[in-house]
Structure 1
Amino acid sequence: MRMPPFPDYPEFHPMSDILISTLDLDERLKRVNPPRVLDASLPNSPIASFAPEDGRTLPGALEFDIERVFSDQSAPFPHTLPALDALQQACGQLGLSIDDEIVVFDNRGVFSAPRAYWLLTQAGFTNVRLLDGGLPGWLAQSLPVQQGYSEPTPLATPPVLKANPSVVSVDDVQANIANPRFTLVDARSAGRFSGQAPEPRPEFPGGHVPGACNLPFGDVLENGYFKSAEEIARLLRDRGLSPADHVAFSCGSGITACILWVAAELAGFEHLSLFDGSWTAWVMSGRYQG
Protein backbone atom coordinates (compact mmCIF):
# COMPACT_ATOMS: atom_id res chain seq x y z
CA MET A 1 0.00 0.00 0.00
CA ARG A 2 1.31 3.46 -0.87
CA MET A 3 1.98 5.52 2.25
CA PRO A 4 1.10 9.23 2.42
CA PRO A 5 4.18 11.43 1.98
CA PHE A 6 3.95 13.01 5.46
CA PRO A 7 2.37 10.54 7.88
CA ASP A 8 3.74 12.42 10.90
CA TYR A 9 2.30 15.76 9.74
CA PRO A 10 -1.33 15.35 8.66
CA GLU A 11 -1.76 19.13 8.72
CA PHE A 12 0.59 19.54 5.72
CA HIS A 13 -1.22 21.67 3.12
CA PRO A 14 1.13 22.99 0.43
CA MET A 15 0.37 26.35 -1.18
CA SER A 16 0.21 26.42 -4.98
CA ASP A 17 -0.64 30.01 -5.87
CA ILE A 18 2.52 31.84 -4.75
CA LEU A 19 4.72 31.07 -7.75
CA ILE A 20 4.09 31.76 -11.41
CA SER A 21 5.96 30.17 -14.30
CA THR A 22 7.62 32.08 -17.11
CA LEU A 23 5.23 30.72 -19.74
CA ASP A 24 2.17 31.53 -17.63
CA LEU A 25 3.40 35.09 -17.10
CA ASP A 26 4.14 35.49 -20.80
CA GLU A 27 0.53 34.63 -21.58
CA ARG A 28 -0.80 36.98 -18.91
CA LEU A 29 1.30 39.86 -20.25
CA LYS A 30 -0.59 39.57 -23.55
CA ARG A 31 -3.92 40.34 -21.88
CA VAL A 32 -5.74 43.66 -22.10
CA ASN A 33 -5.02 44.21 -18.39
CA PRO A 34 -1.65 42.56 -17.78
CA PRO A 35 -0.16 42.17 -14.31
CA ARG A 36 2.16 44.79 -12.86
CA VAL A 37 5.69 43.40 -13.16
CA LEU A 38 8.25 44.51 -10.58
CA ASP A 39 12.00 43.97 -10.99
CA ALA A 40 13.39 43.59 -7.47
CA SER A 41 16.98 42.79 -8.49
CA LEU A 42 19.85 43.80 -6.23
CA PRO A 43 23.41 44.67 -7.30
CA ASN A 44 25.91 41.84 -7.44
CA SER A 45 26.71 40.40 -4.04
CA PRO A 46 29.32 37.97 -2.71
CA ILE A 47 26.59 35.68 -1.36
CA ALA A 48 24.75 35.29 -4.69
CA SER A 49 25.64 34.07 -8.14
CA PHE A 50 26.94 36.76 -10.50
CA ALA A 51 24.26 38.32 -12.71
CA PRO A 52 24.99 40.39 -15.82
CA GLU A 53 23.88 43.97 -15.21
CA ASP A 54 23.13 44.72 -18.85
CA GLY A 55 19.80 46.51 -18.48
CA ARG A 56 17.65 43.65 -19.75
CA THR A 57 14.37 43.15 -17.93
CA LEU A 58 10.86 41.87 -18.54
CA PRO A 59 8.42 43.77 -20.77
CA GLY A 60 6.72 46.53 -18.81
CA ALA A 61 8.85 45.97 -15.71
CA LEU A 62 8.99 48.71 -13.09
CA GLU A 63 11.98 49.10 -10.78
CA PHE A 64 11.31 47.87 -7.24
CA ASP A 65 14.39 49.42 -5.65
CA ILE A 66 14.99 47.55 -2.41
CA GLU A 67 18.23 49.33 -1.56
CA ARG A 68 17.24 52.99 -1.97
CA VAL A 69 13.44 53.16 -1.92
CA PHE A 70 11.97 50.13 -0.18
CA SER A 71 14.35 50.34 2.78
CA ASP A 72 14.57 52.81 5.64
CA GLN A 73 17.52 55.01 4.65
CA SER A 74 17.85 56.37 8.21
CA ALA A 75 18.18 52.94 9.81
CA PRO A 76 21.57 51.67 11.04
CA PHE A 77 20.98 48.28 9.35
CA PRO A 78 20.78 47.68 5.59
CA HIS A 79 17.46 46.70 3.98
CA THR A 80 15.41 47.71 7.03
CA LEU A 81 11.64 47.74 6.56
CA PRO A 82 10.56 51.33 5.79
CA ALA A 83 8.01 53.15 7.91
CA LEU A 84 4.40 52.62 6.87
CA ASP A 85 3.92 56.13 5.44
CA ALA A 86 7.14 55.82 3.41
CA LEU A 87 6.05 52.42 2.10
CA GLN A 88 2.66 53.83 1.09
CA GLN A 89 4.30 56.72 -0.74
CA ALA A 90 6.76 54.41 -2.53
CA CYS A 91 3.96 52.09 -3.67
CA GLY A 92 1.88 55.06 -4.77
CA GLN A 93 4.76 56.37 -6.86
CA LEU A 94 4.93 53.00 -8.62
CA GLY A 95 1.20 53.16 -9.26
CA LEU A 96 0.42 50.06 -7.21
CA SER A 97 -3.16 49.63 -6.04
CA ILE A 98 -3.93 47.23 -3.23
CA ASP A 99 -5.81 44.75 -5.45
CA ASP A 100 -3.53 44.91 -8.52
CA GLU A 101 -2.24 41.66 -9.95
CA ILE A 102 1.49 41.91 -9.24
CA VAL A 103 4.40 39.68 -10.22
CA VAL A 104 7.84 40.20 -8.67
CA PHE A 105 11.11 38.80 -9.98
CA ASP A 106 14.87 39.30 -9.87
CA ASN A 107 17.86 38.68 -12.09
CA ARG A 108 19.25 35.63 -10.26
CA GLY A 109 16.31 33.26 -10.52
CA VAL A 110 15.32 33.50 -6.86
CA PHE A 111 17.26 35.83 -4.59
CA SER A 112 15.85 39.26 -3.72
CA ALA A 113 12.35 38.99 -5.22
CA PRO A 114 11.07 37.13 -2.11
CA ARG A 115 11.88 40.27 -0.13
CA ALA A 116 9.54 42.26 -2.40
CA TYR A 117 6.90 39.53 -2.08
CA TRP A 118 7.16 39.68 1.72
CA LEU A 119 7.02 43.49 1.85
CA LEU A 120 3.94 43.70 -0.35
CA THR A 121 1.92 40.79 0.99
CA GLN A 122 2.51 41.77 4.61
CA ALA A 123 1.45 45.34 3.78
CA GLY A 124 -1.91 44.09 2.51
CA PHE A 125 -1.52 43.61 -1.25
CA THR A 126 -3.85 40.76 -2.09
CA ASN A 127 -2.64 39.38 -5.42
CA VAL A 128 1.15 39.07 -5.47
CA ARG A 129 3.06 36.22 -7.09
CA LEU A 130 6.73 35.47 -7.55
CA LEU A 131 8.26 34.49 -10.91
CA ASP A 132 9.93 31.14 -10.31
CA GLY A 133 13.26 31.12 -12.13
CA GLY A 134 13.24 34.90 -12.49
CA LEU A 135 14.95 36.66 -15.37
CA PRO A 136 17.34 33.74 -16.11
CA GLY A 137 14.36 31.41 -16.54
CA TRP A 138 12.67 33.98 -18.76
CA LEU A 139 15.75 34.32 -20.95
CA ALA A 140 16.14 30.54 -21.15
CA GLN A 141 12.72 30.42 -22.85
CA SER A 142 13.80 33.12 -25.36
CA LEU A 143 10.88 35.28 -24.28
CA PRO A 144 10.80 39.01 -25.13
CA VAL A 145 12.72 41.52 -23.05
CA GLN A 146 13.11 45.26 -22.93
CA GLN A 147 16.10 47.47 -22.21
CA GLY A 148 15.67 49.45 -19.01
CA TYR A 149 12.66 49.98 -16.78
CA SER A 150 9.26 51.28 -17.80
CA GLU A 151 8.06 54.59 -16.39
CA PRO A 152 5.45 54.20 -13.63
CA THR A 153 2.19 56.14 -13.50
CA PRO A 154 1.91 57.37 -9.90
CA LEU A 155 -1.43 57.19 -8.11
CA ALA A 156 -3.17 60.40 -7.12
CA THR A 157 -3.63 58.91 -3.64
CA PRO A 158 -1.23 56.32 -2.18
CA PRO A 159 -2.71 52.93 -1.26
CA VAL A 160 -3.81 52.45 2.34
CA LEU A 161 -1.54 49.75 3.71
CA LYS A 162 -1.25 48.00 7.05
CA ALA A 163 1.69 47.85 9.41
CA ASN A 164 3.74 44.69 8.89
CA PRO A 165 2.54 42.20 11.52
CA SER A 166 5.34 39.68 11.04
CA VAL A 167 8.46 41.54 12.19
CA VAL A 168 10.28 40.44 15.32
CA SER A 169 12.84 42.76 16.90
CA VAL A 170 16.19 42.21 18.58
CA ASP A 171 14.42 42.37 21.94
CA ASP A 172 11.88 39.77 20.80
CA VAL A 173 14.70 37.45 19.72
CA GLN A 174 16.55 38.03 23.00
CA ALA A 175 13.42 37.22 25.03
CA ASN A 176 12.83 34.11 22.93
CA ILE A 177 16.11 32.56 24.09
CA ALA A 178 14.93 32.20 27.70
CA ASN A 179 11.22 31.81 26.93
CA PRO A 180 10.84 30.23 23.48
CA ARG A 181 7.75 31.31 21.56
CA PHE A 182 9.11 30.62 18.08
CA THR A 183 11.93 28.74 16.39
CA LEU A 184 14.51 31.00 14.75
CA VAL A 185 15.79 29.60 11.44
CA ASP A 186 18.92 31.20 9.98
CA ALA A 187 19.21 31.27 6.17
CA ARG A 188 22.96 31.96 6.01
CA SER A 189 25.48 29.34 4.92
CA ALA A 190 26.55 26.65 7.36
CA GLY A 191 30.01 28.21 7.58
CA ARG A 192 28.69 31.66 8.48
CA PHE A 193 26.24 30.12 10.94
CA SER A 194 28.99 28.19 12.70
CA GLY A 195 31.43 31.09 12.56
CA GLN A 196 33.97 29.10 10.53
CA ALA A 197 33.42 31.17 7.35
CA PRO A 198 33.77 34.96 7.20
CA GLU A 199 30.85 37.34 6.93
CA PRO A 200 30.58 39.47 3.75
CA ARG A 201 31.21 42.49 5.99
CA PRO A 202 34.68 41.72 7.38
CA GLU A 203 34.12 43.79 10.51
CA PHE A 204 31.32 41.42 11.56
CA PRO A 205 31.96 38.12 13.37
CA GLY A 206 30.37 34.87 12.30
CA GLY A 207 28.16 32.78 14.52
CA HIS A 208 24.47 32.69 15.33
CA VAL A 209 21.79 33.62 17.83
CA PRO A 210 21.66 31.07 20.68
CA GLY A 211 18.99 28.47 20.03
CA ALA A 212 18.71 29.16 16.30
CA CYS A 213 18.88 26.38 13.73
CA ASN A 214 20.37 26.60 10.25
CA LEU A 215 18.71 26.09 6.87
CA PRO A 216 20.90 27.70 4.17
CA PHE A 217 18.66 29.42 1.63
CA GLY A 218 20.32 27.55 -1.23
CA ASP A 219 19.01 24.27 0.16
CA VAL A 220 15.41 25.15 -0.78
CA LEU A 221 16.40 26.10 -4.35
CA GLU A 222 17.56 24.21 -7.41
CA ASN A 223 19.04 26.00 -10.41
CA GLY A 224 17.26 29.25 -9.56
CA TYR A 225 13.87 27.64 -8.89
CA PHE A 226 12.17 26.60 -5.68
CA LYS A 227 12.24 22.92 -4.90
CA SER A 228 8.90 21.14 -4.56
CA ALA A 229 6.71 21.80 -1.55
CA GLU A 230 7.29 18.20 -0.46
CA GLU A 231 11.09 18.58 -0.58
CA ILE A 232 10.93 21.86 1.32
CA ALA A 233 8.64 20.34 3.94
CA ARG A 234 11.16 17.54 4.48
CA LEU A 235 13.95 20.07 4.99
CA LEU A 236 11.89 21.88 7.61
CA ARG A 237 10.85 18.63 9.23
CA ASP A 238 14.53 17.67 9.48
CA ARG A 239 14.92 20.78 11.68
CA GLY A 240 12.14 19.49 13.92
CA LEU A 241 9.53 21.87 12.49
CA SER A 242 5.85 21.26 11.80
CA PRO A 243 3.46 23.48 9.82
CA ALA A 244 1.67 24.19 13.10
CA ASP A 245 4.81 25.77 14.60
CA HIS A 246 5.60 29.47 14.86
CA VAL A 247 8.79 29.97 12.83
CA ALA A 248 10.87 33.14 12.45
CA PHE A 249 13.51 33.59 9.77
CA SER A 250 16.84 35.39 9.92
CA CYS A 251 19.86 35.89 7.65
CA GLY A 252 22.51 38.59 7.29
CA SER A 253 20.32 41.63 6.62
CA GLY A 254 16.80 40.42 5.89
CA ILE A 255 17.00 39.45 2.21
CA THR A 256 17.63 35.71 2.00
CA ALA A 257 15.48 35.09 5.08
CA CYS A 258 12.57 35.95 2.79
CA ILE A 259 13.53 33.04 0.52
CA LEU A 260 12.89 30.72 3.46
CA TRP A 261 9.66 32.62 4.19
CA VAL A 262 8.34 31.87 0.69
CA ALA A 263 9.60 28.29 0.91
CA ALA A 264 7.77 27.79 4.21
CA GLU A 265 4.57 29.21 2.73
CA LEU A 266 4.91 26.79 -0.17
CA ALA A 267 5.15 23.95 2.36
CA GLY A 268 1.96 25.07 4.10
CA PHE A 269 3.45 26.89 7.12
CA GLU A 270 1.26 29.78 8.26
CA HIS A 271 2.69 31.08 11.56
CA LEU A 272 5.69 32.98 10.23
CA SER A 273 7.77 35.93 11.39
CA LEU A 274 10.87 37.69 10.10
CA PHE A 275 13.81 38.98 12.14
CA ASP A 276 14.19 42.01 9.91
CA GLY A 277 17.53 43.24 11.21
CA SER A 278 18.83 39.67 11.31
CA TRP A 279 22.47 38.94 12.17
CA THR A 280 23.51 42.53 11.46
CA ALA A 281 21.09 43.87 14.06
CA TRP A 282 22.04 41.19 16.56
CA VAL A 283 25.75 42.01 16.34
CA MET A 284 25.29 45.79 16.30
CA SER A 285 23.00 45.60 19.35
CA GLY A 286 25.87 44.15 21.38
CA ARG A 287 24.04 40.86 22.01
CA TYR A 288 26.69 38.78 20.27
CA GLN A 289 29.06 37.00 22.64
CA GLY A 290 31.77 35.18 20.73
Structure 2
Amino acid sequence: MSDILIGALELSQRLERPDPPTLLDASLPNSPVAPYVAEDGQTLPGALEFDIERVFSDQSAPFPHTLPALDALQEACSKLGLSIDDDIVVFDNRGVFSAPRAYWLLTQAGFTHVRLLDGGLPGWVAQSLPVQQGYSEPTPLSTPPVLKANPSVVSVDDVQANIATPRFTLVDARSAGRFSGQAPEPRPEFPSGHVPGACNLPFGDVLENGHLKSREEIARLLIDRGLSPEDHVAFSCGSGITACILWVAAELAGFERLSLFDGSWTAWVMSGRHQG
Protein backbone atom coordinates (compact mmCIF):
# COMPACT_ATOMS: atom_id res chain seq x y z
CA MET A 1 0.00 0.00 0.00
CA SER A 2 2.31 2.73 -1.29
CA ASP A 3 -0.27 5.46 -0.56
CA ILE A 4 0.26 5.15 3.20
CA LEU A 5 3.16 7.60 3.11
CA ILE A 6 3.47 11.17 1.91
CA GLY A 7 6.72 13.14 1.61
CA ALA A 8 7.33 16.66 2.86
CA LEU A 9 7.48 18.30 -0.58
CA GLU A 10 4.33 16.59 -1.80
CA LEU A 11 2.51 17.59 1.40
CA SER A 12 3.64 21.20 1.07
CA GLN A 13 2.10 21.28 -2.41
CA ARG A 14 -1.12 19.71 -1.14
CA LEU A 15 -1.40 22.37 1.55
CA GLU A 16 -1.49 25.09 -1.11
CA ARG A 17 -4.66 23.67 -2.69
CA PRO A 18 -8.17 24.92 -1.86
CA ASP A 19 -8.92 21.64 0.00
CA PRO A 20 -5.77 20.95 2.05
CA PRO A 21 -5.55 17.86 4.26
CA THR A 22 -6.05 18.04 8.01
CA LEU A 23 -2.70 17.83 9.81
CA LEU A 24 -2.52 15.95 13.11
CA ASP A 25 0.57 16.27 15.29
CA ALA A 26 0.80 13.01 17.24
CA SER A 27 4.10 13.77 18.99
CA LEU A 28 4.79 12.29 22.41
CA PRO A 29 7.02 13.72 25.15
CA ASN A 30 10.66 12.69 25.07
CA SER A 31 11.13 8.98 25.53
CA PRO A 32 14.08 6.80 26.63
CA VAL A 33 13.52 4.55 23.58
CA ALA A 34 13.59 7.38 20.98
CA PRO A 35 16.05 10.15 20.12
CA TYR A 36 15.80 13.29 22.22
CA VAL A 37 14.10 16.25 20.55
CA ALA A 38 13.86 19.84 21.70
CA GLU A 39 10.41 20.60 23.14
CA ASP A 40 10.22 23.97 21.38
CA GLY A 41 6.56 23.95 20.35
CA GLN A 42 7.26 23.85 16.62
CA THR A 43 4.76 22.10 14.40
CA LEU A 44 3.47 22.19 10.82
CA PRO A 45 1.31 25.17 9.79
CA GLY A 46 -2.31 24.54 10.69
CA ALA A 47 -1.59 21.35 12.64
CA LEU A 48 -3.99 20.16 15.35
CA GLU A 49 -2.86 18.33 18.48
CA PHE A 50 -3.53 14.59 18.42
CA ASP A 51 -2.85 13.95 22.11
CA ILE A 52 -2.15 10.24 22.44
CA GLU A 53 -1.35 10.29 26.15
CA ARG A 54 -4.23 12.33 27.56
CA VAL A 55 -7.02 12.15 24.97
CA PHE A 56 -6.57 9.21 22.61
CA SER A 57 -5.88 6.71 25.40
CA ASP A 58 -8.11 5.16 28.04
CA GLN A 59 -7.26 7.15 31.17
CA SER A 60 -8.87 4.52 33.40
CA ALA A 61 -6.71 1.66 32.10
CA PRO A 62 -3.96 0.27 34.36
CA PHE A 63 -1.27 0.67 31.69
CA PRO A 64 -0.44 3.56 29.34
CA HIS A 65 -1.58 4.25 25.77
CA THR A 66 -4.52 1.83 25.91
CA LEU A 67 -7.07 2.08 23.10
CA PRO A 68 -9.97 4.26 24.31
CA ALA A 69 -13.55 3.03 24.32
CA LEU A 70 -15.43 3.62 21.08
CA ASP A 71 -17.65 6.40 22.46
CA ALA A 72 -14.63 8.20 23.89
CA LEU A 73 -12.81 7.89 20.57
CA GLN A 74 -15.83 9.30 18.72
CA GLU A 75 -16.02 12.24 21.12
CA ALA A 76 -12.29 12.96 20.81
CA CYS A 77 -12.48 12.89 17.00
CA SER A 78 -15.55 15.11 17.07
CA LYS A 79 -13.75 17.72 19.18
CA LEU A 80 -10.93 17.76 16.62
CA GLY A 81 -13.47 18.16 13.81
CA LEU A 82 -12.51 14.88 12.13
CA SER A 83 -15.05 13.45 9.69
CA ILE A 84 -14.75 9.87 8.51
CA ASP A 85 -13.93 10.83 4.89
CA ASP A 86 -11.51 13.66 5.69
CA ASP A 87 -8.10 13.73 4.04
CA ILE A 88 -5.78 13.41 7.06
CA VAL A 89 -1.98 13.44 7.44
CA VAL A 90 -0.44 12.39 10.76
CA PHE A 91 3.12 13.17 11.83
CA ASP A 92 5.37 13.48 14.87
CA ASN A 93 8.50 15.34 15.92
CA ARG A 94 10.90 12.38 15.78
CA GLY A 95 10.53 11.41 12.12
CA VAL A 96 8.55 8.19 12.50
CA PHE A 97 7.79 7.28 16.10
CA SER A 98 4.33 7.91 17.56
CA ALA A 99 2.47 9.02 14.42
CA PRO A 100 1.97 5.38 13.36
CA ARG A 101 -0.10 4.94 16.52
CA ALA A 102 -2.42 7.72 15.31
CA TYR A 103 -2.52 6.12 11.86
CA TRP A 104 -3.50 2.77 13.42
CA LEU A 105 -6.15 4.30 15.71
CA LEU A 106 -7.84 6.20 12.90
CA THR A 107 -7.68 3.66 10.09
CA GLN A 108 -8.92 0.85 12.31
CA ALA A 109 -11.81 3.08 13.45
CA GLY A 110 -12.92 3.52 9.84
CA PHE A 111 -11.21 6.69 8.61
CA THR A 112 -10.57 6.10 4.92
CA HIS A 113 -7.98 8.70 3.89
CA VAL A 114 -5.14 8.75 6.41
CA ARG A 115 -1.50 9.12 5.44
CA LEU A 116 1.74 9.30 7.42
CA LEU A 117 4.28 12.08 6.83
CA ASP A 118 7.47 10.12 6.19
CA GLY A 119 10.29 11.86 8.03
CA GLY A 120 7.84 13.77 10.20
CA LEU A 121 8.62 17.26 11.45
CA PRO A 122 12.43 16.80 11.15
CA GLY A 123 12.06 15.87 7.48
CA TRP A 124 9.80 18.88 6.95
CA VAL A 125 12.28 21.26 8.60
CA ALA A 126 15.16 19.73 6.61
CA GLN A 127 13.41 20.95 3.46
CA SER A 128 13.31 24.51 4.88
CA LEU A 129 9.50 24.44 4.85
CA PRO A 130 7.52 26.78 7.13
CA VAL A 131 6.55 25.94 10.70
CA GLN A 132 4.37 27.54 13.35
CA GLN A 133 4.60 27.79 17.12
CA GLY A 134 1.86 25.89 18.92
CA TYR A 135 -1.21 24.09 17.64
CA SER A 136 -4.09 25.51 15.66
CA GLU A 137 -7.58 25.51 17.13
CA PRO A 138 -9.93 22.79 15.83
CA THR A 139 -13.49 23.32 14.66
CA PRO A 140 -15.56 20.67 16.46
CA LEU A 141 -18.26 18.73 14.65
CA SER A 142 -21.90 19.20 15.58
CA THR A 143 -22.38 15.42 15.32
CA PRO A 144 -19.68 12.87 16.23
CA PRO A 145 -18.43 10.64 13.41
CA VAL A 146 -19.80 7.10 13.37
CA LEU A 147 -16.77 4.90 13.97
CA LYS A 148 -16.33 1.15 14.22
CA ALA A 149 -14.81 -0.89 17.01
CA ASN A 150 -11.16 -1.69 16.38
CA PRO A 151 -11.06 -5.22 14.91
CA SER A 152 -7.30 -5.69 15.20
CA VAL A 153 -6.70 -5.80 18.96
CA VAL A 154 -5.55 -9.00 20.62
CA SER A 155 -5.73 -9.31 24.40
CA VAL A 156 -3.51 -10.88 27.04
CA ASP A 157 -5.79 -13.93 26.99
CA ASP A 158 -5.50 -14.15 23.19
CA VAL A 159 -1.72 -14.03 23.43
CA GLN A 160 -1.72 -16.64 26.20
CA ALA A 161 -3.93 -18.97 24.14
CA ASN A 162 -1.69 -18.44 21.11
CA ILE A 163 1.26 -20.01 22.92
CA ALA A 164 -0.42 -23.41 23.12
CA THR A 165 -2.37 -23.17 19.86
CA PRO A 166 -0.62 -20.74 17.47
CA ARG A 167 -3.02 -18.69 15.36
CA PHE A 168 -0.68 -15.75 14.71
CA THR A 169 3.00 -14.88 14.99
CA LEU A 170 3.77 -12.32 17.67
CA VAL A 171 6.49 -9.87 16.59
CA ASP A 172 8.04 -7.72 19.34
CA ALA A 173 9.27 -4.25 18.35
CA ARG A 174 11.46 -3.67 21.42
CA SER A 175 15.26 -3.71 21.30
CA ALA A 176 17.09 -7.03 21.11
CA GLY A 177 18.44 -6.50 24.63
CA ARG A 178 15.03 -5.93 26.17
CA PHE A 179 13.58 -8.85 24.21
CA SER A 180 16.33 -11.24 25.35
CA GLY A 181 16.22 -10.04 28.95
CA GLN A 182 19.81 -8.76 28.82
CA ALA A 183 18.87 -5.05 28.91
CA PRO A 184 16.52 -3.40 31.42
CA GLU A 185 13.09 -2.00 30.65
CA PRO A 186 12.69 1.81 30.77
CA ARG A 187 10.43 1.28 33.80
CA PRO A 188 12.79 -0.20 36.38
CA GLU A 189 9.99 -2.00 38.22
CA PHE A 190 9.35 -4.16 35.12
CA PRO A 191 11.49 -7.15 34.15
CA SER A 192 12.63 -7.50 30.55
CA GLY A 193 12.16 -10.62 28.43
CA HIS A 194 9.47 -11.68 25.99
CA VAL A 195 6.29 -13.65 25.47
CA PRO A 196 7.08 -17.32 24.72
CA GLY A 197 7.05 -17.97 21.00
CA ALA A 198 7.46 -14.33 19.98
CA CYS A 199 10.12 -13.19 17.54
CA ASN A 200 11.99 -9.89 17.62
CA LEU A 201 12.12 -7.11 15.02
CA PRO A 202 13.34 -3.92 16.72
CA PHE A 203 11.40 -0.97 15.33
CA GLY A 204 14.63 0.85 14.49
CA ASP A 205 15.47 -1.85 11.96
CA VAL A 206 12.66 -0.69 9.63
CA LEU A 207 13.77 2.96 9.82
CA GLU A 208 16.61 4.92 8.29
CA ASN A 209 17.36 8.56 9.13
CA GLY A 210 13.84 9.13 10.44
CA HIS A 211 12.16 7.59 7.39
CA LEU A 212 10.72 4.16 6.76
CA LYS A 213 12.91 1.90 4.66
CA SER A 214 11.74 0.74 1.25
CA ARG A 215 8.99 -1.86 1.05
CA GLU A 216 11.56 -4.30 -0.40
CA GLU A 217 13.92 -3.84 2.56
CA ILE A 218 11.05 -4.19 5.04
CA ALA A 219 9.75 -7.31 3.28
CA ARG A 220 13.24 -8.83 3.57
CA LEU A 221 13.32 -8.17 7.30
CA LEU A 222 9.94 -9.87 7.76
CA ILE A 223 10.83 -12.80 5.52
CA ASP A 224 14.07 -13.27 7.49
CA ARG A 225 11.84 -13.94 10.50
CA GLY A 226 9.96 -16.65 8.64
CA LEU A 227 6.96 -14.50 7.77
CA SER A 228 5.08 -14.14 4.51
CA PRO A 229 2.34 -11.67 3.45
CA GLU A 230 -0.31 -14.40 3.86
CA ASP A 231 0.52 -14.91 7.54
CA HIS A 232 -1.48 -13.52 10.46
CA VAL A 233 0.97 -11.30 12.33
CA ALA A 234 0.43 -9.50 15.64
CA PHE A 235 2.74 -6.75 16.86
CA SER A 236 3.84 -5.97 20.40
CA CYS A 237 6.25 -3.56 22.11
CA GLY A 238 6.43 -1.93 25.54
CA SER A 239 3.07 -0.16 25.65
CA GLY A 240 1.59 -0.18 22.14
CA ILE A 241 3.40 2.74 20.47
CA THR A 242 6.39 1.35 18.55
CA ALA A 243 4.45 -1.80 17.63
CA CYS A 244 2.48 0.52 15.33
CA ILE A 245 5.70 1.39 13.47
CA LEU A 246 5.97 -2.29 12.55
CA TRP A 247 2.26 -2.28 11.64
CA VAL A 248 2.80 0.51 9.08
CA ALA A 249 5.99 -1.15 7.82
CA ALA A 250 4.17 -4.46 7.33
CA GLU A 251 1.33 -2.73 5.46
CA LEU A 252 3.90 -1.17 3.16
CA ALA A 253 5.37 -4.63 2.55
CA GLY A 254 1.97 -6.01 1.53
CA PHE A 255 0.97 -7.80 4.73
CA GLU A 256 -2.79 -7.62 5.34
CA ARG A 257 -3.64 -9.98 8.24
CA LEU A 258 -2.41 -7.74 11.02
CA SER A 259 -3.24 -7.45 14.72
CA LEU A 260 -1.89 -5.43 17.63
CA PHE A 261 -1.27 -6.57 21.18
CA ASP A 262 -2.41 -3.24 22.55
CA GLY A 263 -1.21 -3.62 26.14
CA SER A 264 1.99 -5.27 24.90
CA TRP A 265 4.76 -6.21 27.34
CA THR A 266 3.34 -3.91 30.03
CA ALA A 267 0.02 -5.77 30.05
CA TRP A 268 1.77 -9.15 29.93
CA VAL A 269 3.91 -8.33 32.97
CA MET A 270 1.06 -6.76 34.93
CA SER A 271 -1.06 -9.85 34.31
CA GLY A 272 1.64 -12.00 35.91
CA ARG A 273 1.95 -14.23 32.83
CA HIS A 274 5.71 -13.59 32.60
CA GLN A 275 6.15 -15.62 35.78
CA GLY A 276 4.54 -18.74 34.35
Q: Distance in 2 between matches of 1:26 and 1:34?
A: 9
Question: What are the equivalent positions in structure 2 for 1:188-199 lying under 5 Å apart?
Answer: 188-199=174-185
Aligned residues: 276
Question: What are the equivalent positions in structure 2 for 1:30-45 lying under 5 Å apart?
Answer: 30-45=16-31
In the alignment, which of 49, 55, 59 is matched to residue 41 of structure 2?
55
Q: Distance in 2 between matches of 1:126 and 1:233?
A: 24
In the alignment, which of 99, 102, 111 is matched to residue 97 of structure 2?
111
Corresponding residue for 2:222? 236
Give the match's secondary structure for 1:288: helix
Q: Report Cα offsets for 1:229-257 as digits up to 9, x if no partner.
A: 00000000000000000000000000000
Q: Report Cα offsets for 1:21-56 as digits up to 9, x if no partner.
A: 000000000111100000000000100000111011
Q: Distance in 1 between matches of 2:61 and 2:102?
A: 18
Over aligned residues, Cα RMSD in angstroms? Answer: 0.6
Question: What is the identity percentage for the equivalent residue pairs of Structure 1 and Structure 2?
Answer: 88
In the alignment, which of 237, 256, 263 is matched to residue 277 of structure 1?
263
Q: Per-residue deviation at 1:289? A: 2.1
After TM superposition, which residue ranges in structure 1, 4 or more long, deviate above 3 angstroms? none
Q: Report Cα offsets for 1:67-112 as digits up to 9, x if no partner.
A: 0000000000100000000000000000000000000000000000
Q: Per-residue deviation at 1:217? A: 0.1
Is residue 86 of structure 1 aligned with residue 65 of structure 2?
no
Give the match's secondary structure for 1:230: helix
Corresponding residue for 1:180? 166
Q: Report Cα offsets for 1:179-216 as digits up to 9, x if no partner.
A: 00000000000000001000000000000000000000
In the alignment, which of 126, 134, 137 is matched to residue 151 of structure 1?
137
Give the match's secondary structure for 2:3: coil
Q: Distance in 2 between matches of 1:118 and 1:53?
A: 25
Is residue 213 of structure 1 aligned with residue 215 of structure 2?
no
Is residue 287 of structure 1 aligned with residue 276 of structure 2?
no
* Structure 2, unaligned runs of 5 or more: none
Is residue 258 of structure 1 aligned with residue 238 of structure 2?
no
Q: Distance in 1 between matches of 2:19 and 2:45?
A: 14
Give the match's secondary structure for 1:17: helix
Q: Distance in 2 between matches of 1:274 and 1:27?
A: 34
Q: Distance in 1 between matches of 2:243 and 2:2?
A: 20
* Structure 1, unaligned runs of 5 or more: 1-14
User: TM-score, normalization: structure 2?
Assistant: 1.00
Is residue 138 of structure 1 aligned with residue 124 of structure 2?
yes
